[in-house]
Structure 1
Amino acid sequence: MSDRFVVVPVETEGGARGSDPDPEADDDQADDSVFEPQETEDGVVPILQYNREPNKYGDGVPKENSPFINNTDNNDKANSNSYDGTNMALFEEEMDSHPMVSSLLNKLANYTNLTQGAHEHEEADEDEGPKKKTVKSPQMGTFMGVYLPCLQNILGVILFLRLTWIVGTAGILESLAIVGLCCSCTMLTAISMSAIATNGVVPAGGSYYMISRSLGPEFGGAVGLCFYLGTTFAGSMYILGTIEILLTYIVPKAAIFVAERKEDEVDALLNNMRVYGTCCLALMAVVVFVGVKYVNKLALVFLACVILSILSIYAGVIKTIFEPPDFPMCMLGNRTLQNHNFDKCLKTEEIDNQTVTTQLWKLFCGTSDLNATCNDYFSNNNVTVVQGIPGLISGVISENMWSAYLSSVPTGESAQDIYMPYVVNDITTFFTLMVGIYFPSVTGLIVLYISNVERCIYCMCITNRTALDSCPDVTSVVLFGACIEGVLLRDKFGDSVKGNLVIGTLSWPSPWVIVIGSFFSCCGAGLQSLTGAPRLLQAIARDGIVPFLQVFGHGKANGEPTWALLLTAGICEIGILIASLDAVAPSSPCQFFLMCYLFVNLACAVQTLLRTPNWRPRFKYYHWTLSFLGMSLCLAIMFISSWYYAIVAMAIAGCIYKYIEYRGAEKEWGDGIRGLSLNAARYALIRLEDAPPHTKNWRPQLLVLLNLDSDQAVKHPRLLSLTTQLKAGKGLTIVANVLEGTYLTKDAESKKAEQNIKASMSAERTKGFCHVVVSSNMRDGVSHLIQSAGLGGMKHNTVLMAWPGNWKQNNDPQSSRHFIETIRETTSAHQALMVAKNVDSFPTNQDRLGRAPSTCGGWSMMELLKAMRIFTVAQMDDNSIQMKKDLQMFLYHLRLDAEVEVVEMHDNDISAFTYEKTLVMEQRSQMLKQMQLSRTEREREAQLIHDRNTAASHGAINDKADTGPERVHMTWTKDKLFTERRQRECNANVAVRDLFNMKPYSNVRRMHTAVKLNEVVVNKSQGAHLVLLNMPGPPRTHGGDENCILCLLHHKQLQSVLDKDLTQTITLTP
């Protein structure tokens, strides 16, 4: 029941009740009060009254659609006054955009991120339809929902078909070590899994969601797909076990392929496994397709059979104490014979006082003649009868304590011995093989969690029941070694006891209890694998991290993964075609399950060590050292069982990881790897802050200043191409832009500009960061970027921008001021500046240029370029030859291959064109002073003068004897009246002679340098694809005096002359 406060009117008694006797004393308080009660004409003052009336004031408002975001539209404005007069007037401004607290808490308490089917999604999209009632998944208790399904998977094909063989081959001690190693790995993983399960809501998909939400989409997708393959191949392993039980122990006569010779028996068995396995797979796939509820109904029957089988084993062990079962074995020397084609374990027998050969004699001698030549080993050894199950108190446990590994063909025997009726190993046995074969039997925990996580009431019971599930295996190892003869334990298929299942010979009351129970146990485990694997694939597909798997995210209307089931059945068929249980078990299921276990433990350890805020598991027995130990055990078992399969599994996971990373996993799940990257980045930034980088480790860290048009689109995308080519993905790149205005009004434009810049960076393959700044003016914004872009020691040291190409036609002199101020600020910040001219003509990332670039100035940042021509300027007193040698030696130490050339410039090289060009520039300043114009008119007049005389820059540079232009139009009056300049009285030669008599001022020398350098560069590198030039320093004039504008224009004119007739140029400030 919720509590509400409601404002109700209450009458006062003569103004004493409900009113303040001294209202003037509280005038200040009344101004600050949220509620401002005022007396009405009737003397009624509203006061607060406590009311317990739930869902009356504000609850159930139709505007609420989400506990986090209120999806409102224009039609909801009529409902905005539904909150008027409520008890939360303090927050009435937020009522229309925020949900009620009670509704928010209710939705948060019932929050679930379980995946929905198509039918549920369609109903969720229908806003006008009735609200769908929440259907709770059927929950099962700890015993039925956790313990018995785990028991069915653990006590399955390996226990019934291979555990006796493992005990007889590895011995009791090593078998206990194998069981303990594998169960410890599973137990530690169960602890980690319980920690993750108690850390929040984990939807169906189980371990995949654990890993992906903890380690990120790359690890989650890679390990999830590998674990899917492992679960699928585990299904084929269970199906092969089912068919082996069917054809070997239940109905051997049902075999389609029958071997006519003994050497063809293995091939015939494998072919029968393939045919019957395919049919069994199709039948199980149909059952799973019909519905999981039928699988659950069948699971109860299968579980009952498993329980009866386990009980019959323990009952048989107890019976051996009083009356051991009679299962004799025939031994020839120390070799076990297959008891199929003879009835008596004798070479000869006495019948009517005559010595008669037996069927066993005929098998080894080929005839029943007493004088026939028999096998040497048969002739030299006697046959004996040994009881296969001597009993619990027989003392056989001491003989079975140690290992007895054998090769597939006994050493020293002739090739004919393998065709004798001996019980031999079909594969060479060793300890690591036993680990790989046994480990899939303890993977029932993960298979259970995939399919049954929604039905588990308490996730912590996984750990407790996992410990109990390992008890039957541990006790079985000891009991098998204490009751059964070692040679019978090493008989994998029970050929020495007339084809009976070895573990069945121990059971009571009949071996058929074990045979039927193991058959249904394998069937149930196969069904669970075929049920869980498609759901795991569907969960991966719905996350969208692997694009080509998205088709498998669809299914039937109720969410059943139809397409994923088809793919699972197809992959499972591959394992069935292998047809060998011993070949399938240690490969795919073992390695992929171990990899999944490893990353579950790694996820917990990483989350704990990083102290991520959302990692707060309620499981009290968890500690990160247990997860680390479990991870180490998983890695060790992977290489112990099969090192080459472990490498293959890791290679597959690595390829999937790189594929997801390449396709761009844009999922943000709050995973631990993000936190690990954050910690690593913080640590690296702190270390970078300690000391500046050494000169030899210097590399350009770029701040790229982009220009955007009115639609917030990038004007010069080739500037990003140049950035990519310069950086090649190395170092820091910050792409920035400045928007004029205030952030409150430019918020939407700022986000749009950032999106457009990121799209252009992606298109041009520029790896870096995007930063959009909103400032009151362009100059301040660029200044802020130059000063504050970057973080800590990871800051830019170079600014890259495009040359203002329309500065001659631009009527706004502020653009020139901004450009010059950018140069000044980068110089003041001790940063390099790169200005790319004609950047739109620069090559793209796909273009390949074969000609080497040319440089002038020898800027060290261009060390990334493999071949260069470097030009340097020599003064009057410099030794050009020595300068060239020094520069060549410097490049040698830098290990750069470049052609060096020294350009000598003399004072008498100043041309008439240079004097005329400089004179026109200086006359502008004098004229503006005399005109006494305002600042705005002065700027406009300066631009007009410059535009009128732009044609003067097109004179011939190569011909030093050419004269300047004959007419120069100037503006002399304030009324903008143009007059024709006085004609020259002297001829061209006199004008040239007068100009050479002028004093070479600084501006003339600067213009001369620009012209001379331009001549050299054009002559040497006019056809070069890229020319790098040192940028002349900016004018020192600051403030708003008359010379400022002209100095800015003069600086730009110098740069224009410097790179005249060059298509692709980058000017640099070191």
Structure 2
Amino acid sequence: MAIGSPPEAKTPMKFGTFGGVFTPCTLTILGVIMFLRFGQVVGQSGVITAVLIVLAAKTITTLTTLSLSAIASNTRVKGGGAYYLISRSLGVEFGGAIGVLFFAAQAISVAMYIIGFSEALAATFPSLADHAMAISTLVNLVTFVCVYVGAGWTIKVQYFILAILAAALASFYVGAIADFNPEYLQANLKPSFLDGDNTFTMFALFFPAVTGIMAGANMSGDLATPSKSIPTGTLAAVIFTGVIYLSQAVLLGCARPATELIGNNMIIRDIAVWPVLITAGVFAATLSSALGSMMGAPRILQAFARDEIFKSIKFFGAGSGLSNEPRRATVLTFVIAQVCIVFGDLNAIAPIITMFFMITYGLLNLATFYESITKNPSYRPTFRYSHWITSLLGMIGCFGVMFLINWLWATISLLFIAAIYWFIRSKEVEARWGDLQSGMIFERARKALLKLEDEVYHPKNWRPIVMALSGTGWTRPHIPIYGHWLTSGHGILTLAHVVTGDLEELADQRDRYEKSLRSFIIREELDAFPAVACGQYLSDGIESLVQCHGIGGLRPNTVLLGWPRDASKADSFGATVRLIARTKRSILAARFLSHRSDVEEADKTDTTDIAEHWRVPRGTIDVWWRGMANGELMLLLAHLMHRNPDWRGNKVRVLRVIQNEQAKAEIDKHMDELAASARIQFQSEVVVSDEPVASVIQSTSRNASLVLLGFQTPEEGQEIAMYESLEALAGDLPRIIMVDSAGGMTLES
């Protein structure tokens, strides 16, 4: 190496399929349950039912392995195993819930395997039975030290354990074949359940034996090629161990009577031709399973902590050394395992772990199912043997078996998951990765839009889809706020802004204005979408927005804009209104006197006291009726405004001015018929007066919270006249919305 040149960078050691996936999966599956409890499962269930239990458990884990393989081959898998895969698919809420649950399951599993080791040791050396707690604590400490040193050392130890396990199984098979007794087989075909036990309790006792399929995935951050190693190694381990369990179920039923299978936890040792190998196998299997869980749990917690879903556990996200060992998380795993060792026993821990693993597997299947049915273009797994049907069956199997085993514990487990889910959601944690939620929403929206496009439009389905020409939002806050009130819970609101100038120079400005609008929407908690268009002139931008904004049946049918402040702007306003009317959109023009000074200040400072505009004024909502042309839309808008919780105290009035007293009875009857056909509650009032209409409107509605008046789009050259006539009608009324309806709705539908 040349002087002054940097030292060669060392790369952390990575593991292959056999050492990193197949070996830990196999050793975890062929563990404590096989040696210490499988005889009891066969003895109580009978050979046939025991085979069915194995097949059912293996079916669930095989289907889950297919889902696991699909997701693992679709993305770059980092540390965290099932937590990483589920969080990147179902989102931060489900990911966080699984992070907590799966870490707890793995940490508790350490205690289960160590308790099994101590039980086997006490059965081999009865004099040690009184020291089971001390032995378990010592084994827990030794396991912790092995993992704390590093995964590389642990993997090497597992190769040695695998050899011992193979020798122990060979010893059992030779002994079981030598002790074959057809009478035992005949008697053991039927169940011999003890009081309180049944097929499902036996399934719950056995199922932790097959939960080792995640042992390889938990090491995902330490694998050289996880997308290849996880599917190949996990499926190979599932098939290999499945053959062993099925053959063991038959051989156990052939070699001993049910009473011995049930009463002797070390029955496999008694059957084996070389018992010492079984003893060694029990010790090796329980220790290897404990090592596998002690390696997996900290890596789940490390990945979980690094995502910062809970800031309080960020401490455990730190890694040590070149291989990024999760030593802080390993210490916590050791502590949890020790607490369970002190307070737990094997039969009590196994069903709890079953529930935790079932939920994890169920959600993993759910993630793959949704990835498939949402047709997400980014879902392109190289593993081809997973289908949405297999994922759905796996999910149904997991959650169904949970309730069949113990409905109470299943309910508690799901409520626990739901509580964590809603807690994370209430904190509004933002994921820094893509997940399925947006894909699911997109697919639902896509199908709904296509269906809406196929449906024949009917006026009874009319909803306000309002485009509010609101500027940047804060310059004319009454526009977006009243747009929100008119559409909230009933329609769709878009806040639109037009950027004028040279089109080639507007790209950056357009993005900036859209970001500002989006921030305004979030800050004011509006149910709205931002839209910004660029144009050489204002009319060009408005034209492109009105014509092109929206998709399918969700194009704007109404445009909300501000009323001109003075006559000098009447010409451009009239041109804009004509442009909108030609596109067959209804027009709402908001004339709010109290906002005119605010707008002038906002133009200078880009800020107003927006909270003032959210205050609902007192008074009635007045609709001045002059016929059905604009009246239907005005009355419907008044009804929608009244439906807002803040506006419930503002009654709707429909008013009409006449000069002939004789016509009043007929008009009253017409208003009653209108209320009945429209099914809208309003107070009708017919005003008989010889005074000018403008005076009547201003005096009658002087205390109204909002007034709706109809108008017609002016012909070219009539803009000033239209403006002056409507100004005369409005006078000093503070809040008026002028309405020009394009139709499309009917009150009688």
TM over 0.5, shorter chain: yes
Contact 2:309 2:429 in 1 (8 A): yes
Please tell me the root mean square deviation across aligned C-alpha atoms, in Å: 3.5
Instruction: Indicate the residue corresponding to 1:861 in structure 2.
Output: 637
The answer on 1:431 being equivalent to 2:306 is no
Give matches, 1:666-705, under 5 Å. 666-667=430-431, 671=435, 673-691=437-455, 693-705=457-469
The answer on 1:1053 being equivalent to 2:727 is yes
Residues 860 and 503 of structure 1: is their aligned pair in 2 closer, same or farther, counting only changes over 3 Å? same
Instruction: Indicate the residue corresponding to 1:232 in structure 2.
Output: 107
Give matches, 1:908-947, under 5 Å. 909=691
Instruction: Indicate the residue corresponding to 1:315 in structure 2.
Output: 174
Residue 472 (structure 1) aligned to one of 223, 229, 244: 244
Indicate the SS of the match to 1:405. Answer: coil
Instruction: Indicate the residue corresponding to 1:1038 in structure 2.
Output: 716
Contact 2:698 2:729 in 1 (8 A): no
Counterparts of 2:342 and 2:736, CA distance in 1: 66
How far off is 1:184 after superposition?
A: 1.7
Instruction: Indicate the residue corresponding to 1:1013 in structure 2.
Output: 697
Contact 1:172 1:477 in 2 (8 A): yes
Contact 2:172 2:272 in 1 (8 A): yes
The answer on 1:482 being equivalent to 2:257 is no
Q: Partner letter of residue 52 of structure 2?
A: A
Counterparts of 1:252 and 1:897, CA distance in 2: 87
Contact 1:312 1:514 in 2 (8 A): yes
Counterparts of 2:461 and 2:516, CA distance in 1: 33
How far off is 1:889 after superposition?
A: 5.0
How far off is 1:485 after superposition?
A: 1.7
Contact 2:92 2:429 in 1 (8 A): yes
Residue 181 (structure 2) aligned to one of 366, 388, 393: 393
Q: Partner letter of residue 621 of structure 2?
A: S
- The worse-fitting range, judged by mean Cα deviation, of 276-285 and 694-703 is 276-285
Counterparts of 1:729 and 1:562, CA distance in 2: 51
Q: Partner letter of residue 503 of structure 1?
A: I
Indicate the SS of the match to 1:703. Answer: strand
The answer on 1:817 being equivalent to 2:581 is no
Indicate the SS of the match to 1:406. Answer: coil
Residue 192 (structure 1) aligned to one of 48, 67, 76: 67
Give matches, 1:259-278, under 5 Å. none
Give matches, 1:631-650, under 5 Å. 631-650=395-414
Residues 283 and 733 of structure 1: is their aligned pair in 2 closer, same or farther, counting only changes over 3 Å? farther
The answer on 1:402 being equivalent to 2:180 is no
Residues 538 and 895 of structure 1: is their aligned pair in 2 closer, same or farther, counting only changes over 3 Å? farther
CA deviations on 1:677-736 (whole Å, 9 max, x unpaired) are: 33322221122223465444433222122223xxxx732445444444444455322121
Indicate the SS of the match to 1:227. Answer: helix
Counterparts of 2:728 and 2:613, CA distance in 1: 34
Give matches, 1:759-908, under 5 Å. 759-804=519-564, 807-808=565-566, 813=568, 815-828=569-582, 829-833=584-588, 835=590, 837=592, 838=594, 844=611, 851=618, 853-857=620-624, 859-864=635-640, 865=642, 866-867=648-649, 868-877=651-660, 879-888=663-672, 890-891=674-675, 894-906=678-690
Contact 1:164 1:480 in 2 (8 A): yes
Indicate the SS of the match to 2:191. Answer: coil
Counterparts of 1:778 and 1:846, CA distance in 2: 26
How far off is 1:431 after superposition?
A: 1.0
Contact 2:730 2:736 in 1 (8 A): no
Instruction: Indicate the residue corresponding to 1:423 in structure 2.
Output: none
Counterparts of 2:695 and 2:8, CA distance in 1: 81
Residue 708 (structure 2) aligned to one of 1019, 1024, 1029: 1029
Counterparts of 2:670 and 2:67, CA distance in 1: 66
Counterparts of 1:436 and 1:621, CA distance in 2: 28
Instruction: Indicate the residue corresponding to 1:25 in structure 2.
Output: none
Instruction: Indicate the residue corresponding to 2:471 in structure 1.
Output: 707
Instruction: Indicate the residue corresponding to 1:74 in structure 2.
Output: none
Indicate the SS of the match to 1:758. Answer: helix
Counterparts of 1:567 and 1:753, CA distance in 2: 49
Indicate the SS of the match to 1:392. Answer: coil
The number of residues matched between the two structures is 703
Residue 139 (structure 1) aligned to one of 2, 7, 15: 15
Residues 777 and 556 of structure 1: is their aligned pair in 2 closer, same or farther, counting only changes over 3 Å? same
How far off is 1:792 after superposition?
A: 0.6
Residues 644 and 886 of structure 1: is their aligned pair in 2 closer, same or farther, counting only changes over 3 Å? farther
Residues 730 and 403 of structure 1: is their aligned pair in 2 closer, same or farther, counting only changes over 3 Å? farther
Larger Rg computed on CA atoms:
1
Instruction: Indicate the residue corresponding to 1:582 in structure 2.
Output: 347
Instruction: Indicate the residue corresponding to 1:152 in structure 2.
Output: 27
Counterparts of 1:818 and 1:245, CA distance in 2: 91
Residues 145 and 819 of structure 1: is their aligned pair in 2 closer, same or farther, counting only changes over 3 Å? same
Residue 158 (structure 2) aligned to one of 268, 281, 299: 299
The answer on 1:446 being equivalent to 2:214 is yes
Contact 1:705 1:799 in 2 (8 A): yes
Q: Partner letter of residue 622 of structure 2?
A: T
Contact 2:466 2:558 in 1 (8 A): yes
Residue 560 (structure 1) aligned to one of 300, 311, 325: 325
Contact 1:718 1:842 in 2 (8 A): no
CA deviations on 1:460-491 (whole Å, 9 max, x unpaired) are: 24323320121221111111111112111121
Counterparts of 2:591 and 2:331, CA distance in 1: 58
Counterparts of 2:693 and 2:610, CA distance in 1: 30
Counterparts of 1:763 and 1:130, CA distance in 2: 51
How far off is 1:873 after superposition?
A: 1.1
Residues 639 and 1011 of structure 1: is their aligned pair in 2 closer, same or farther, counting only changes over 3 Å? same
Instruction: Indicate the residue corresponding to 1:754 in structure 2.
Output: 514
Residue 148 (structure 2) aligned to one of 263, 285, 289: 289
Indicate the SS of the match to 1:586. Answer: helix
Instruction: Indicate the residue corresponding to 1:972 in structure 2.
Output: none
Counterparts of 2:559 and 2:667, CA distance in 1: 30
Residues 629 and 903 of structure 1: is their aligned pair in 2 closer, same or farther, counting only changes over 3 Å? same
Counterparts of 2:164 and 2:671, CA distance in 1: 89
Indicate the SS of the match to 2:78. Answer: coil
Instruction: Indicate the residue corresponding to 2:746 in structure 1.
Output: none
Give matches, 1:647-662, under 5 Å. 647-662=411-426
Residues 699 and 547 of structure 1: is their aligned pair in 2 closer, same or farther, counting only changes over 3 Å? farther
Contact 2:298 2:329 in 1 (8 A): yes
How far off is 1:594 after superposition?
A: 2.4
Indicate the SS of the match to 2:712. Answer: coil
Contact 2:474 2:610 in 1 (8 A): no
Counterparts of 2:459 and 2:249, CA distance in 1: 68
Residues 295 and 1032 of structure 1: is their aligned pair in 2 closer, same or farther, counting only changes over 3 Å? same
Unmatched runs of 5 consecutive residues or more in structure 2: 599-607, 625-633, 643-647, 742-749
Residue 302 (structure 2) aligned to one of 538, 551, 554: 538
> Which structure has more helix as a fraction of its residues?
2
Q: Partner letter of residue 831 of structure 1?
A: S
Contact 1:798 1:834 in 2 (8 A): no
Identity of aligned residues (%): 28
Counterparts of 1:249 and 1:834, CA distance in 2: 90
Contact 2:657 2:693 in 1 (8 A): no
The answer on 1:505 being equivalent to 2:265 is no
Q: Partner letter of residue 1053 of structure 1?
A: E
How far off is 1:292 after superposition?
A: 2.7
Q: Partner letter of residue 598 of structure 1?
A: G
